[in-house]
Structure formats: C-alpha cells, structure tokens
Structure 1
Amino acid sequence: MDFDQMIAQAAVSGLAAQQLTANNNLQPQLLTNTPSETIWEHLRQQLETCRTFCFAVAFISADMLPPFKAVLADLAEKQISGRLITSDYLGFNQPTALAELLKIPNLTVRISPLAGFHVKGYYFEHQAPTYQTMIIGSANFTRSALLQNYEWNLELNSLQQGTLTQRVQQELSQLWQTGQPLTVQWLKAYQLRYQASVRKPLTASYVEKNPIKPNQMQQSALQQLAALRQTNARRGLVISATGTGKTYLGALDVQQFAPRRMLFVVHREQILKKALASFREILGGPASDFGILSGNFQQFSAKYLFATIQTLNKPAVLQQFSPTTFDYLLIDEAHRTGAASYQRLLAYFQPKFCLGMTATPERSDDYSIFQLFDYNIAYEIRLKDALAAKMLCPFHYIGIRDYQYHGQLLTDQAPLRQLIAPKRVAYVLKQLEYYRDHTQPNRGLIFCTRRQEAEQIAQALSDQGHPAQAVDGTDSIRRRENLVRKLEVSQLEYLVTVDIFNEGIDIPTINQIVMLRNTQSQIVFLQQLGRGLRLAPGKKFVTVLDFIGNYQNNYLIPLALTEDHSLNKDHARQTLELEPVLGLSTITFTKVARQQIYNSLQRVKLDAFLRLRQAYQQLKQRLGRIPLLADFARQQLVDVQVFAQNQQIDNYYQFLLKMKEDLPVLPTLADQWLSFVTKELINGMRQHELLLLQKLSCQPSLTRQDYLVCLQQHNCYCNQAVLDSVAKILNLDFYQVKTGKQLQAAKYGNQPLVVEKNGCYVLNQTLHHWLTEFPWFQRLWKDGLTAGLLRSSQYCSQQPLTLYQKYTRKDVCRLLNWPLDVSAPLYGYRVGKTACPIFITYQKDAAQNARAGSYSNYFLNRATIRWYTRSPRHLDSSEVQQLLARDQQGNYQVTIHLFVKRSDAEGKNFFYLGTCRPIRAREVQLKNVQQRTKTAVELLLQLQQPLAYQYYRLLTGAKNN
C-alpha cells in the first residue's frame, strides 16, 4: 500500500467506518490534556518532524514561549522555519509577549487586521513522505490551554490535493497576505493602545487587608505537629521543598503552641530580618516583642528572638540565657545541625519543643539529623507534590548545549581560559537574551564554578545594558544583602554567584535561574532550582537554563528534575526521551544537550554498589536502625529490584554483611533460599507465591481451599494453570534447566521450599525450623516477602501481565505458567499451546541489522506492527498454522503477547504492549547478509489496545507519524 492509500484509508477509518488495517497515527484524532499526555506534546512532535509550519492563533502567552523557543532553536539548526499569525483582538496579547517572538530568527509573525480574529489552528507540512497535518480546535498558544485546560482539538492528516487541505491553505494564505508584519514600529503603536486599556492593579493596601491563611502544606503540617506533641515528643522535623512556605509554617506553629518565649536560629544574618517580618505578620503584637541577636544587634530580652548560630555560640552570649529560657526552639536549614556549633546549642537549651525545618535532610557524611530530631518526621512534601498543589511557581527547564571550544564541548576539567573565552561569554549572553522573558522584570541568578568566570559574565552582561554583579563566599554579609536588595528593586538584573545562594537566601521575585556549572549532585541541583520557585506577586513562571557540556554527571539531571532516587535507569531514560510535563512546568532538552545526557547515562552504572551503599546509609540515618528492603519500598527510594539485579550480591543478607552489620552466620541453604526470594519473587510481578510463603511462614501447612480464599481476598486471578505454576516455582521444578553447566535449581539449594500433599501446601521442615529458631533469618525472610508484595502494587493482580510494565523472557515464562524456564533458547518468539510471546528489539545496531538482513519489525501505526517469523517458514509451516488457527467460535487458539524494547542498550527488559491478533499473513522472500534468499511469513499484528502515545514515542523514537 502506498502512502496516498494509507492517508485515504486512515480518513475513512476515522470518519466513516473503522478499518482494521488503517494507519492509526494518520487517522483523525481528538487531542485533549490528560495526566498522561498534553496538547503541547503533540504540537512539539509535529514541530520536530515538519519541514515548515504555520500557526494561526488568537492568543499567545509568554508563559508558553520558553519551551517553544527551545524547539525552534533545534529547528533552526536544520534550517527549518515557520510562520505565525495572531492579532490584537481584545487586547489579550501583551506587547512584551509579542516582542519575544521577534527574537526567534526562524519564525516570521504577522498580525491579522480582522475584527474578532479568534482562530486556533496549527498547520504542518511534512515530507518524505509528503503530507500535511492540521490541529484545529479550542486551544490557543497559552500555557493553560496547551498543558492543563480541558480543550478539544482535532488532528487531521491530509494530502496536498485534499479539499480541506486546500481550503485551509487558502485561508492561511489570505490571512498572511492581509496581515501586518510584526515589527518594532507596530509594537510601539500597539503598546500605546494596550496601556490605555489595561486595568489598574490591586493596591498594596488592599492586599495587606487579607490575612495570611495556611496553605495546603501548612495546614497538614500544623495538624501533624500538634499530633506529634500529643505523644510527648520534644523534637520534630519538617521536610519541605524550597519555596513552600517553611518560614510561615514555623510562625503558624509558634502561634498554635503559644510559647512564653521563642528562639529562631539560622546560619546567615541576612535571613533574620525577613524571618522576623514573616513571624510578625502571623503573630502580631508590638515591635518590642521581636528582636535580633547577631553581630550587629543585641536584643537579648525579646519575646521572639531571631539569632545567628555564630553569635549564639559565643560563650559570653550563651551565658546570658538559662537552658530553659525558651519554650520553643526553631532551627531553619536544619540539615546543618550536624555541625559542632549546633550540637553545643542543642546540648545547652532545654525547650519544651524543638522544630527543625529543611528542604534537603540528606547528608553525605555519617551524621544523622533524623537522630537529632528523635526520628520524628512531622511532615514531608517534595518538589513534585508541591508543584501539583500549586504551592510553587511553575518553571520551564531548558537544557541547552554549552559552548563548543575549538569544536569540543566543555568538560569537567575545562580550564579557566575556556570558561571565560570571549566567544563562550558571547554565546552565553546570546542564549540569555534569546530565552529571557520581557513580560516581567528580569531578576536572574546565575551559578558559576569560579570567581573569575562569574566576574567576566557579570561584566559582559553589564556592558550590554543588563546590570549584573558577581558574588561569592568571600564577600561580606553586608555586600551580599546590598546586592540582593538591588536585584529586588531592579537596580540589578543578575547576580552571578559561586558557592553561595544554593540555600539560605530568599528572593521570591527571581524568575530566571541559569546553571553555568556541571551538576555534581541531585541535592545541589534542587537547591539551585528552588531559588526561583517561590511565589511572588506578578511572577508567572521561572525560566531555568542549564548549559550542558560533556560532563560526567549529566545523568543526574533527569533524576533531579523528577526527584527520582530509584537508581533505575529506565526512569531516567523516560524523562530524557519524553520530556514530561509536571503540572504547568515543562522540561525541554535541545538535541545536543539530550545526547550528552544520554551518553552520560549510558556510561554510568546507576545501580553500582557504591550508590547502594550511599542510599543505605542515608536511610539508616533516617530510621535510626538497620533498614530493610521493605523500608526502601515504603520510602519510595531505591527500587528493591535493583538489589535483586545487582551482580555482587545474591540477597539482602549478603548486602548487610558488606555494610559491616553484625549479623549471625546463616547456613548455606538458608542463604540460598533468601536468594531465591530475592532473585525470583521480589519483583512482585505475581503475588501468588509471595502470599503462599507469607502464610506458611506463620504456619507450617495450608489447605488449598484456604490458599484460594487468600488469593480471592487479595483480588488475585486464579485458575488451575496458575496453581500448577506456583507449585512448580516453589518446589523448584521450573528451574530444572541448565544455565551453563549447572542447574538453575542448584543456586537455590535444589530442595523444594514447598510441596503439595493431599490438598495441602507444606513448608520445608528445615525452612520452618529456621524461621522458628533464627530471628534474623525470619526477619530477612519475611522482609523479602513484604518488599515483593509492596512492589506488586505496580502490577494488575487480576491478570498475569500488566500493560506497559517491563519483563524479561524468564519473567514471561513464569507468568505464562510454562512448566520450565526456557528463556535461554527463546530468542524472538516461542509458540506454545495457548500463548506465543513475541520479543522485539525495535532499533538494532549495524551488526544486528546485517545479521537480520531484510527483517524489519515495524509499527505501521500505534495499533499495527509488521512482524516476521524465522526463516525458512511458509504459510503451511506448523508454527504459522498454530498462530492462525481459530476455534469454532472464530477466536484465535493461540494468544499472541507482544513485548518490545527500544534497543539492547536498555538491558534485558521489554515493555509489555498487550495481546494482538494477526490481520494479514503472507509469504515473503528475505535476503540475509550473504544475499541468500529465504522464505519467511510476514504477519500484520493488531494490538488489542492501541499503543499509548507516549510509549509509541518512547519505543520507536518516532520523529514522524
């Protein structure tokens, strides 16, 4: 079928009668904003694959332009340009927002003179093959419309000769010809008209009359803090993302506690005055109730005292207070309390309650601030949840490549001369100007690696009319405060900083964060990102520019943006490829930047033992005891499957020994059985074995009827084939196959854990004895079962395989109830009596392609994939006949299960895409690398459920429809 026929068939299928073989990607479809996809993602893909485009939209908002600029920058590299038609209808479009469009060199803009111009249409020209895509509906080019609002937009694909296409082209042509070019002169005239129609803003006096009310986070935290104190707890910790209102929360809790006196401690003097002002807003009362204790102020008798740790630690100062002077002690940036100065302070004072507040409690040393606060985490909210709750300002993160010095990207060891090279500085300034938003006063914070680099950048910005100052740890507190004040009142546009302002600085009006340094840790990345996320009047969004070079730790960027601590590479790859939308916040990587991150991700061993050790130590600090696997699962930290897949250990007991924990020596067989649970069951893909072992851990036998009741209570699917499979797994019959020279079952002691006798499941007597007599073995055994059951929440309990979850060939053998693990010789597919799993690596490397010859498994659309059998095979071959055989009701006798991964770089796991059925079969002649022709059968397989848009992009790397 040629492409013209595919377009025609797709149109008929979408608008007249469903066609099973129609190209699902080309069919008319309704686009809306949902939790799994947004209209912007569809527009972005069209932009990335078109040869030209034309938008006709009534309304454009500046808060959607940063990611658009990033995509257009990549298109400019490919010499692709487009047009945009808008208007001044209703005075919605800000002049400053329209001015931003003039920065985009490969975009030409015209203003329609039509009264009531209210269209919302997006038109794309594609080539190879040549066709057109139109997206027409309700969505303007605004952040709310493209990311969040309930909108209807119809996507249509057509050929040049299509009547609708020609009509749209004519309308666009007419609009373009009659439109006024967007120029600086036109904007000046529009600015005058626009200013005359703008309403006056609310006065400050009106705002002041509205009392501060606790936000969502504060309300929950206040309730939990009160509940904590009812347990007679003396200390508590609040973990809250930067910008979510920790200072106000502290004041609100002081208000509900009503102390006789309060002490607020922080590590930097410039924070004290703002904290005092915030507390006074909440608490009220005379000014004399509030005082500061620092190098410049000595107001010892204030009811509410705000002090720096440096001043308090002076013996002469500390002796001015008795240990019980303050009822309530509040420590800001509590992750610093491991320092000796804070230790002395906490050892001296004896308040009725001590509250610690921090956004980043994790520490790289062995000190646990959780221990310091008695392991009482009163409340915790992280970045993603805070964004969802609209407690933070939305951001547009844009990862762009750094300057190429003599054709090479900067590395971690780049010398200063490369960082401050005039061409690099000019490149940085060009990017800042391109992505800068003129609809709001520019207040930017730039993070650099060295003082001289910061000075050069600041000077260059100032020379171009953008006042900037460099600042680092050598500057006095007074100078820092003065520079921050100048930034707030727009006397400066940028502060260029080195090693400071990661934390402990509150400049809510910051609307641009620039990262001119390589990412060293997720914590620092989030600290720097958080500097711009505070809400402020008139602040619409934050632009985050990350200059990405050839840095070793680039892989940390997608992990930090999604606060992912799972150590699972798949999550990072998905963030990188799909560029997810977080509420009203977007993530965009330009092509070169994305490749640099991907290269870093490929090089790093994310689940390396060192990282497991670090994660273990951090969790141990949090819990105050030896963490178990179930703790990692409950805290949503390291994916417990990462422990199972680690090559240096076979089970968590061995891991604890490597952590130097003092554990009793276990018998070899006990160790092997722990390995069985870890390697085979902890993935949680099927609850059945875990539930049976959990029951038998408390009683040595269980009737089949009681087991069936247990499965029913957990909503688990069940049939005789599943019960037989469970029996073969737990008596190790499934593993009676060789891997190398050894039986798999030998790794697990080759003794059945459970046998079925007379309608009862009976636990191995030795295993029962060890569970009774060895507490640590019992603890680790039950922990492995619990961790697996916790992980099982990712899977559907009512069917053996869960859509879009990942499985290995071995997993599939078990979950399809096969009697033996035949994954080693399984390769591409295996036709069983009732099921045939097909495994496809979608993008093969050059060597694989050479071996495969003409084989090319290919998604024709999101519902149909072209797949080839082995060769030689014919239509009358037995396995082909099995796949095509139907019963008397016309149903296929063999269920085909489709598993796909993008490339071998992604390991042994395949996404499960569901069941599919043959809709066409034919013999084809294929040539191998030696140009020898063999016969194979080509099947068109239709998925029962069309592939979700995001997974289609993820698996195919789709750059066209």
Structure 2
Amino acid sequence: MKFEQIITQAALAGLVSDKQADTSAYTPKLLSNSEQETIWEHIRTQLQQCSSFVFAVAFITADMLPPFKAVMADLAAKNVSGRLVTSDYLSFNRPDALAELLKIPNLTTKIAPLAGFHAKGYCFEHQQPDYQTLILGSANFTRSALLKNYEWCLELNSLKQGQLVAQLHTATEKLWQQSQLLTPVWLENYRQRWQVVQQLSPAIAASTMVNQEAVTPNQMQRPALQQLAALRQAGAQRGLVISATGTGKTFLGAFDVQQAAPKRFLFVAHREQILRKAKASFQRILGGFDSDYGLLSGSHQQLQAKYLFATIQTLTQPAVMRHFAPETFDYLLIDEAHRSGAPSYQRLLDYFQPQFCLGMTATPERTDDYSIFQLFDYNIAYEIRLQDALAAGMLCPFHYIGLQDYEYQGQLLTDKAPLRQLVAPERVKYILQQLEYYSYSGIQVHGLIFCSRRDEAKELAQAMTAKGHPARSLDGTTTIAQREHLVSQLEQGRLEYLVTVDVFNEGVDIPCVNQVVMLRNTQSQIVFLQQLGRGLRKFAGKRYLTVLDFIGNYQNNYLIPLALTEDHSLNKDQVRSTLALEPVMGLSTITFTQVARQQIYASLQRVKLDAFIKLRRMYQQMEQRLGRIPLLTDFAQQHQLDVEVFAENNQIDNYYQFLNKMKAAQPTITKQQDAWLTFITQELLNGKRRHELLLLQVLSNQFQLTTAEYLTLLQQHNCKTDPATLDSVKAILSLDFFQVKAGKQLQADKYGGQSLINLIADRYQLNQALWQQLQTSAWFKKLWQDVLTAGLLRSEQYQADQAFTLYQKYTRKDVCRLLNWPLDVSAPLYGYRVGNHDCPMFVTYQNDAAKNARSGVYVNYFLSPDTIRWYTRSPRHLDSAEVKKLLERDEQGNYKVTIHLFVKRSDEEGKGFYYLGRCQVVSSSVVEINLPIPGKKPRATVAMNLQLQQPLNYKMYRLITGKKF
C-alpha cells in the first residue's frame, strides 16, 4: 500500500469512523497524562525519530529541560536540529530557563513579538516516508503540563500537500520571520525587565519557597505513627521504620516521642552534625524550654537533659555510660539504624533498658550476615521506598541523565582505567561541559560528585578549581570538623562541588544539593540509591535535582536501571523495559543517551541476572528480615523478587534443592517427594493457569473433591470451566501431557512418572502415595503448600477467564498447555502450528538477517500498532494444506481458526514471547511470493497481513518495535 493511502485510511479511521479503515500508527489520537503514558513520552518519541522540528510554545520552564537536552544531544550526533518560538508574555518565562535554551547547539530559539502569544504546538518533519506529525493542544513545555497536569493534545499526521499542514507551515514561517532571535543581549535586557516585574509581584517569587509553617505529620508519618502506637500497645519493645532519605524520618521520631510522652528520651547517631539538626527538629515539634534539650558528644556534656542527643562514640565510653542507670531513658531512638550491628551499638543496647526502642533507616539491607531486623524484633512499623515517596510528592523530583563517559583515545573508560585517564585534561573538560550543559535548579550550583578513588577525587577537585569551579575533595580520612567546614562552604556557595569517595552515602543532610554527579562504576543498588538520595531533600528555590551518571564500559552497568526503579525481581525483561521506555516516575524522568543505553544493554547481556549468587543474596536479605528460613510465599508477598526465577535457574529444580545449597537446616525428603516438588515448581509455580493450583491445594487438605465442587471452586475464582480446559487439567496432573521425549528421557519421568491425581467417577482424588507423604512429612507438606500458595499469588497478574493475558510472556510450552493441547509439542513448534481451532504464531521481531538462510526478505514486521506483515514457512503455496486451513471460513464467513500472536524482540530475551492478542487475516493482503535465497533457487511462501483484535498500546508498540506510535 502506498503511503498516501495509509495516511488517507488513518484520517478516515480517526475522523470519520473506525469502520472506514484499519487503525494505524498514523491515526489521529488524543494525548493526555496518565499512569500509562505522558505527553512528554510522545514528544520524546517524535523527537528521537524526526528529521527536524518546530515548537511554538508560550511558556517554558527549566524543570523540563534536562531530559530534553539529553534527547537533543543524541539528535546533534545525527545532525538533526530544531527551531523553537516562545514568548515574554506576562513575564512568565524565567530568564534562567531561556538561558538554558542557548546552551543547546542544535536548537535555534526566537521570541514571538505578539502580545498575548499563547500557542502550544509541536511540529515534526519525518523522512522516508515524507510526512509531518503535529501535536497541538493545551500543553506548554513545562514539567507539570507534559508529565502531570490534565491536558488535552491532538496528534495528527499529514502529508505535505495536506491543507492543515500547509496552513500551519505558513503560520509557522510567518511567526518565525516576525520573531526576534534569542541572544545573550536580548536575554540580559529581558532579565532586567523580568526582575522589575518580580519586585512588583513578590508572591510569584515566593511561590518557589518551601513552606516553613508549623509542621504536621505528612502522609507517610500519619500511618507510621498509628502503627508505632499499635506496636507498643501490643507489648512490643522495639520497632523499625524504613523510610527513603528525605521523607521526614526525624520529624516522625519527634511526633512519636510526642505521642509516647516519655519521661526521658535518648537520641543516638554517629555524628554530632546529625545530632544538632535532630535536636532542632525535635524542639520544633515538642516545644518546651531550651534546658530540656542537650547534647552529649566530645565537646558537650549536658547529661541531665530531658531530651538527650548523643553520639554513639561518646555515649558508649564506659566512663560516660556509668553516669546513667539502665532504666534512665523510657524511649531510645537510633538513627541510621543499619549501623546497629557495630560493637558500640551492641554495648548500647545491652546496657540500656528503655520501654521502647525505635530504629530508623533508609537502607536496612546489609552486606554481612548481621540482621538489623532481628535487632528490632522483626517489627517493621512502616516502610516507604523511593518511588512511593516520589509519587507522594515527599521528595524533590529528579531528572536522571545517563550519558556516556569520556572516550580516552577512542575507548570508553573501563572498571580498571588508570588514574591518568580518569583525570586527563580532556576528560575534565568534557565533564565540565556536561555539567554546564545539563545545569541545575536554583541560583547557583551545589554539587556532589561521587568518585571511586581518593587520588582521582583529589586531582579532579584541583583541576575543577583551576577551571573556575571551586571544588574540594574529601574521603574517609577527612576529619569530622573538616567535613562540616566543607559542607558549610558548599551551602554558602563558596564551593560549587564536593568531590567525595566513600563518604556522604548516608548520614549527611545537605538539602541545597541540586546536582549529583556519578563518576564511578555502580557496584551496588543500595549505594546508588544512597548517593541519589543526597539530593532529594526539598529546599527553597530547588524545583528538581539533576543527576548526571557518566557511564563507561563498566561490568555492572546493568545495576543502574534496577536501582532507579528499585527493581528486585531479577527479571531481565524489567531492565529492558526501563532502557527502552525510559519511564516517568511522577515528576521525575529517566533518560539515557544512545551510547549510554548501548553500554547498559551490553552489560545486561553479559550478566546472568538470576545467577545463583544473586539468589543467595536475596535469600540472605529475606532471612535477615524474617528471622527464619524464608519460603517462596515470603518473596511473592513482599515483592522482593519474581519467584519464577527459582524454576528457571538451571542449578536447581525446586526450592528444596535451593535450600540444600544454602545449607539451611531442614529435614531431608525422599527422591519421589523431590520429584513432586520439581513438577509443581517447574510447571505450576508460574501461575499462568490457576486451575491445577486450586485443585491440588484443596486435595492436599481433604484428599478428594467432586467434579461439581471443583466447578464451583473454579467459578468462585472466575476460571474457565469448559470441558476442554478440564480435560487439559487432567492431562497435566496425570502427566499424560508430558509423555514426550525431553533429551533421552520422557518429561513425565523427570517428575516421578506417577499421576498426581485420579479421576474416579465424578471425584478427583489425590495420588494415594502423595496423600500419605503429605500426612506424614510436615516439612514436605510445608514446601508443597508453599509452592501452591506462591503460584496462586503469582497468578494474580493473569486473567483467570482467558487462556492468555495481554502483554504477559509465554513460552511455547505454556501455549501448548493453555490451548488445551493433549501433548507438549513445543519442541517442534517453531514459528507456528495450525491446529483445529487455534494457531499460535511466534515472531522474533529483530531477526538477524546475516544468520537467516532466507536473507532479510523473510522478516515479519509491524505496519502499524494493529497490523503485522507475516510470512508462512517455505516452501508453501496458496493451495498448501496448512494455508488453506488457516484461511478457511465457516458459513457465516468467519475464520475457523483463531490466530494468537506472540512476539519478542530478539532471541536474547529467552524463551518467553509477549502475548499481543488475537488476529485475523486481512484477506485482500494474502499473496504467494518467491523468496530469494543466496546460492539457491527461490522458494515459495505465502505473505499476509494480520490485524490484531486490539491495537498495541503505546508502550508495548515501542517496546517491541522501537518505533514511534
């Protein structure tokens, strides 16, 4: 079909009737902000694929420019440029925002001369095919408008000869010719005019200030206070609060002390600077006389204070501790409680006997075997992580930019780069250029730079200072007094940057920090979040945090998207999705430049994300949290990882075998018990159909169940109850489905060769031997029920009344089972199989033409979000039996065979395919063609268009194709 016809059909579908033509990628659509997508994501996609663009927007704010600059940097590498027209209307646009536009070399900006200029339009030119995309509506180029506000924008696609495009082109060119070029001279004149307006309207300037009125509990603190009170009422003596940095842990502690009303209170931290700030916060909440509050540190000995704030180093000195009786304090609060495993804290907790002890931390996980959770009796009073805090507006939003590090002599830096490369003048120059380009929020920069080596930090700080950017380095050898002095200089603006190594990951509060720079390999998700958190506190005049991550050729780059999204699933699909879609989190954005993204992909390909060593670490963290051997259900309930990884790991067959490798003390089980556990782990734990799980769960407790009772059970869980599905359930649990070769043995033999159930008359009965084992072996029964419960928890992500759930992943074996086929024929299934009623089609979207014997012609590809071009295997003709069967219709004209489409981007993604829904053949598109094969005669195949019942949504279409929507 010619492109003109595609655009015509798209216009008819969007503006006349969806029955007029097929929906396509070019259909007019309404854009708005939601949890699923934002207007910015559509604009970003258009930018990434256009040949040029013109924006006409009245208002621009600096808080939307960092991710825009990252996209523009990639476009500059492709020699793509754009034009922007904005205004000085109402003096809304701040001079600093306009100044940032001047830093973008491939963007030309002009100022519209029109009073009342209020346009909001985004126009993109595309080549091959040659067309334009227009996004017109209510959204200015501001963070709120593009990410959050209730806005309407219409996206239209048109050929150049279209009247609407011609009118808009004329209007745009006229506006461009009338407008004045944004220059430093014009900007300085505007700055003076703007300042006059601000002086006349002080409310405008005050709008960016943080509210300093009376403090009341926020939305994190209110439920936490309720749970802390409930803990004490239940008799608990210790509790732990896990809360992201900047969410108000100190105020929470003060509010809880207020409601507990102790006679005397002790606050313990590891630094005097923390004590002083905590003391001020508590006094703000609790009130009272100054004499009620005291410090205990190397320089202060106010031992009699009602509310005492002490450093752990001073307090635990024997001579000091003897001043207090063990029952002196009713309430003990330990800040940065993840440090409590140290001997000094142990002495503290062994000596004092408060009525209640509260620990507070942002990162309770430890790399050693000590359990902070055990120390606080496993009482987690409240937990709020980074994404929840951002969504609740409790933290300063951030713009993360993952950009490539400097190429030293044509090569990206690696983990083992020598010092001369890290501090080479060219690299320092490159770093400073990026810091200037991506900028910061506020009047001046207050930056933290994280390095990996002391000598690097020292030389980098010296080099930056020599270039006019005052900086100082500090590390673990820097004294507390020196640190506090340097922090004070950063806060006062006398220093622009602190370059740090092994400090400031925690325990420091510098709210003014508006730029965090990472110049080191990411070794840990925990450390990454700690360093990110240094800039997330709200501060007057700071509307966002700029995070610049310089990404080299590092082994652990794959940890970056995991850390940003707090993803602990060990599922590579989640990482790929983050890289491909660059998700928006509230008002925070994630952006990777092209080279940086490629480096992370390369790192991801090298790592086995679900390797046993990683499972071990997740197990140890969960064991610390629970104080016992964790089960699969614990992981599933707390969303700590995807339990299916235990079924997919090639070193184990079931969780019992994993526990053996962990040397967890447990009873042994028999070979047959192990085989039964392997079966439900390998085949049912994924939860993709809950029928078998529900049946086994009931039979495990009552031995038998009538067919009528089973049907009622399925109906209660909204499950399919058709005869074919019930027959399939029986085939699965009798192992008949697995009577096929898997290597040198039958699949069924791997699972013990015994049917798990028997269907006698109208009753399902559990295998007698299995029933006996469940009654006599408590440990085996616990493991058995654990797999079933975890599987049912995992099944909540799937629709019970459908064979497949849209956009979930399935293997060929899953498909055979869920289509109710009598045998597992996944091994010879390959690209598709035309059954009597269903035809699953498996498409690997990014085919490697070099490895494809049929060259690059035999490639299935999407024409639009609802249509894919598909080819049969070859040789096939229009009169081939399987083709005729696929195209056969019933008396009403409906196709007899239902097509199910499964797609993945590449073979690197493993065995799973995304389910994209049911399809129908577009009959007019069916054609027999000859495929050229290098060195051989052409072979016949049949090509056709398949139309999806439900067009792909924006994110899935991008994820699969990498194209615009």
TM-score by length of 1: 0.98
The CA distance in 2 between the partners of 1:571 and 1:125, in whole Å, is 32
The 3 A distance-change label for structure 1 pair 276 and 853 is closer
The 3 A distance-change label for structure 1 pair 265 and 187 is same
The 3 A distance-change label for structure 1 pair 779 and 584 is same
The corresponding residue for 1:59 is 59
Q: Which of residues 199, 202, 205 in structure 2 aligns to 1:200?
A: 202
Deviation of the 1:853 alpha carbon = 5.2
The corresponding residue for 1:858 is 861
Deviation of the 1:462 alpha carbon = 2.8
The CA distance in 1 between the partners of 2:478 and 2:92, in whole Å, is 45
- After the TM superposition, which residues 163-242 of structure 1 pair with which residues of structure 2 at under 5 Å, given as runs? 163-198=163-198, 199-200=201-202, 210-242=213-245
Q: Which AA in structure 2 matches 1:30? A: L
Tell me if structure 2 keeps the 8 A contact 1:21–1:864. no
1:767 aligns with 2:756: no
The corresponding residue for 1:718 is 721
Q: Which of residues 383, 404, 407 in structure 2 aligns to 1:404?
A: 407
Specify the SS of the correspondent of 2:885: helix
Q: Which of residues 281, 286, 305 in structure 2 aligns to 1:283?
A: 286
1:357 aligns with 2:357: no
Q: Which AA in structure 1 matches 2:815? A: V
Deviation of the 1:207 alpha carbon = 8.4
1:953 aligns with 2:955: no
The corresponding residue for 2:30 is 30
Specify the SS of the correspondent of 1:865: strand
Deviation of the 1:825 alpha carbon = 0.5
Specify the SS of the correspondent of 1:621: helix
Specify the SS of the correspondent of 2:916: strand
Specify the SS of the correspondent of 2:664: coil
The corresponding residue for 1:485 is 488
The 3 A distance-change label for structure 1 pair 596 and 203 is closer
In the TM superposition, what whole-angstrom CA distance separates every residue of 1:625-654 from its partner, at most 9, and x where no partner exists?
000000010110121100000101100111
Q: Which of residues 582, 596, 600 in structure 2 aligns to 1:597?
A: 600
1:3 aligns with 2:8: no
Specify the SS of the correspondent of 2:394: coil
Larger mean Cα displacement after TM superposition, 416-425 or 207-216: 207-216
1:926 aligns with 2:928: no
The corresponding residue for 1:705 is 708
- After the TM superposition, which residues 463-482 of structure 1 pair with which residues of structure 2 at under 5 Å, given as runs? 463-482=466-485
Deviation of the 1:940 alpha carbon = 0.8
The corresponding residue for 1:261 is 264
Tell me if structure 1 keeps the 8 A contact 2:210–2:539. no
Deviation of the 1:923 alpha carbon = 1.5
1:128 aligns with 2:131: no
Identity of aligned residues (%): 67
The CA distance in 1 between the partners of 2:856 and 2:97, in whole Å, is 53
Specify the SS of the correspondent of 2:814: helix
The corresponding residue for 1:941 is 946
The CA distance in 2 between the partners of 1:310 and 1:889, in whole Å, is 85
Specify the SS of the correspondent of 2:8: helix
- After the TM superposition, which residues 675-754 of structure 1 pair with which residues of structure 2 at under 5 Å, given as runs? 675-754=678-757
Deviation of the 1:21 alpha carbon = 5.7
The corresponding residue for 1:462 is 465
Deviation of the 1:741 alpha carbon = 2.2
- After the TM superposition, which residues 440-839 of structure 1 pair with which residues of structure 2 at under 5 Å, given as runs? 440-839=443-842
Deviation of the 1:497 alpha carbon = 1.1
Tell me if structure 2 keeps the 8 A contact 1:83–1:107. yes
Deviation of the 1:336 alpha carbon = 0.5
Specify the SS of the correspondent of 2:464: helix
The CA distance in 2 between the partners of 1:879 and 1:463, in whole Å, is 75
Deviation of the 1:11 alpha carbon = 1.9
Specify the SS of the correspondent of 1:124: strand
Deviation of the 1:893 alpha carbon = 1.5
Tell me if structure 2 keeps the 8 A contact 1:25–1:861. yes
Q: Which runs of 5+ in 1 are unaligned?
A: none
Deviation of the 1:22 alpha carbon = 3.9
Tell me if structure 2 keeps the 8 A contact 1:404–1:410. yes
The CA distance in 1 between the partners of 2:90 and 2:878, in whole Å, is 66
In the TM superposition, what whole-angstrom CA distance separates every residue of 1:527-574 from its partner, at most 9, and x where no partner exists?
000111111222200000000001111000000000011111111111
The CA distance in 2 between the partners of 1:419 and 1:550, in whole Å, is 13
The CA distance in 1 between the partners of 2:389 and 2:759, in whole Å, is 51
The CA distance in 1 between the partners of 2:210 and 2:754, in whole Å, is 74
Tell me if structure 1 keeps the 8 A contact 2:847–2:859. no
Tell me if structure 1 keeps the 8 A contact 2:442–2:542. no
Deviation of the 1:872 alpha carbon = 2.1
TM-score by length of 2: 0.98
Deviation of the 1:20 alpha carbon = 6.8
The 3 A distance-change label for structure 1 pair 708 and 418 is same
Q: Which AA in structure 2 matches 1:929? A: P
Tell me if structure 2 keeps the 8 A contact 1:7–1:159. yes
In the TM superposition, what whole-angstrom CA distance separates every residue of 1:314-355 from its partner, at most 9, and x where no partner exists?
111111111011000000000000111100110000000000
Tell me if structure 1 keeps the 8 A contact 2:210–2:540. no
The CA distance in 2 between the partners of 1:220 and 1:286, in whole Å, is 29
1:421 aligns with 2:431: no
The CA distance in 1 between the partners of 2:511 and 2:73, in whole Å, is 29
The CA distance in 2 between the partners of 1:936 and 1:209, in whole Å, is 72
The corresponding residue for 1:889 is 892
The 3 A distance-change label for structure 1 pair 553 and 20 is farther
The corresponding residue for 2:152 is 152
The CA distance in 2 between the partners of 1:272 and 1:234, in whole Å, is 23
The corresponding residue for 2:112 is 112
The CA distance in 2 between the partners of 1:847 and 1:23, in whole Å, is 33
Deviation of the 1:614 alpha carbon = 0.8
Tell me if structure 2 keeps the 8 A contact 1:411–1:550. yes
Deviation of the 1:59 alpha carbon = 0.5
Deviation of the 1:152 alpha carbon = 1.1
Tell me if structure 2 keeps the 8 A contact 1:854–1:928. no
The 3 A distance-change label for structure 1 pair 952 and 456 is same
Specify the SS of the correspondent of 1:672: helix
Q: Which of residues 431, 435, 451 in structure 1 aligns to 2:434?
A: 431
The 3 A distance-change label for structure 1 pair 870 and 20 is farther
Q: Which AA in structure 1 matches 2:118? A: H
Q: Which AA in structure 1 matches 2:945? A: L
In the TM superposition, what whole-angstrom CA distance separates every residue of 1:32-63 from its partner, at most 9, and x where no partner exists?
11211111111111111111111000000100
- Aligned length, in residue pairs: 959
Q: CA RMSD in A?
A: 1.5
